Amino acid sequence: MFGKKYRLFTMFGFRVSADWSWLIIAVLITWTLAEDVFRQNEGLTAPVRWVLGVAGSIGLFASVVFHELCHSLVARRYGLPMKGITLFIFGGVAEMSDEPPSPNAEFLMAIAGPAASLAASGFFFGINLLENILGLPLAASLVFHWLGLINLLLVMFNMIPGFPLDGGRVLRSALWGWKKDLRWATRIASQVGLTFGFLLIGLGVFYIVFIPGGFVNGLWWFLIGLFIRYAAKQGYQQVIIRQVLQGEPVRRIMNPQPVTVDASISLNDLVEDYIYKYHFKSFPVVHEGRLAGCVGIPEVSAVPRGQWPLRTVGEVLRPCSPDNTIGPDADAQTALTRMNAGHVGRLMVVEGDRLVGIMSLKDIMRVMSLKMELQGGNAR
């Protein structure tokens, strides 16, 4: 879903990051507030409006983080591993690496975000009311009033019952609790999300074609509709993948006879005899029967080409870590999650200091495809 993410800070143990696309919405919100919303107040000069626009954007940033933080805190309460919180062009997302353990957990996690936004809305409206009573400056009152309104709109939008919106997750929790079938519940909630996304796309086209000056608003509705449809499809596919791979041990999928290299060979031999021959981006490094780490294109590329005949694999290898290894009895879904988190296509399967196999994304996809074919229509 995301491109390159930039880590901002850590709060309550959760890493908060921003996708580069967040800059687009931050600039757009600041510009809209300064040149449209606050421009209606003739007593405000342009510099003041822009300062208020920046303040409004910061307030929106804090509101979105608060919304997603409440999702994350409830998820952690139920033992769900969280990758962190990422802000992007359409708002923010608390990144979970697994599904909730029960319908009740799903409901509480889903409702936590809108409840937080509703509380934030009441807080900002309360400050705005207090400022009006005390006769405080108009400028600050305008910002707090807008933040109260935008948080209320966030609640209304997120509670639309279409997956993956919070309202769609609430719907899924109800369906899941009723039928005791997570896949079926996700399929129904996703179909509602797909329909809602289609309606937003239609609304966007209507604005662009029939509303004078409605191109920008129409374009945003169109893009949000596309995103919701994409996210709804992805959410359903992820549930299928998790259920198909759940309980499937790594040792049944891995390649038990991987190609390995010795730590003593030169980088030049690695390139000529392994990378060009087998077309893998990385290889396990075995020295005296023990796994020493792995080496690949990134490590070779960091060494000047003229030194390749002089440097050995053992000098540049990447040591073993939880990011590039997994045990043979681990769940295949765990392996897939680890690959996605590390952006790697292969994991070394280890027992102690011995290499017992290689687990590749291609192996997982092949087994998953076979299992889904065997399950037939039930896997769709």
Active site amino acids: 68
Contacts 24+ apart (CB under 8 A), 317-320: 317/263, 317/285, 317/292, 317/293, 318/293, 318/294, 319/292, 319/293, 320/291, 320/292, 320/293, 320/294, 320/348, 320/350
b/e code 251-278 from CB counts within 10 Å (16+ = b): bebbeeebebbebebbbebbeeebbeee
Amino acid 282 reads S
Q: What Cα–Cα distance (Å) separates residue 197 from each residue in 65, 163, 170, 229? A: 24, 10, 17, 5
Rounded CA-CA distance 380/372 in Å is 8
Torsional class of 325: left (φ above 0), alpha (ψ -120 to 50), beta (otherwise): beta
Say which DSSP state 249 is in: B
Which tokens go with 79?
A: 């033992």
Determine the distance from the C-alpha atom of residue 135 to the mean position of all C-alpha atoms in its chain, rounded to a whole number. Answer: 44
Cα dihedral 307→313→315→316 (10° resolution):
90
Contact 39, 49 (CB under 8 A): yes
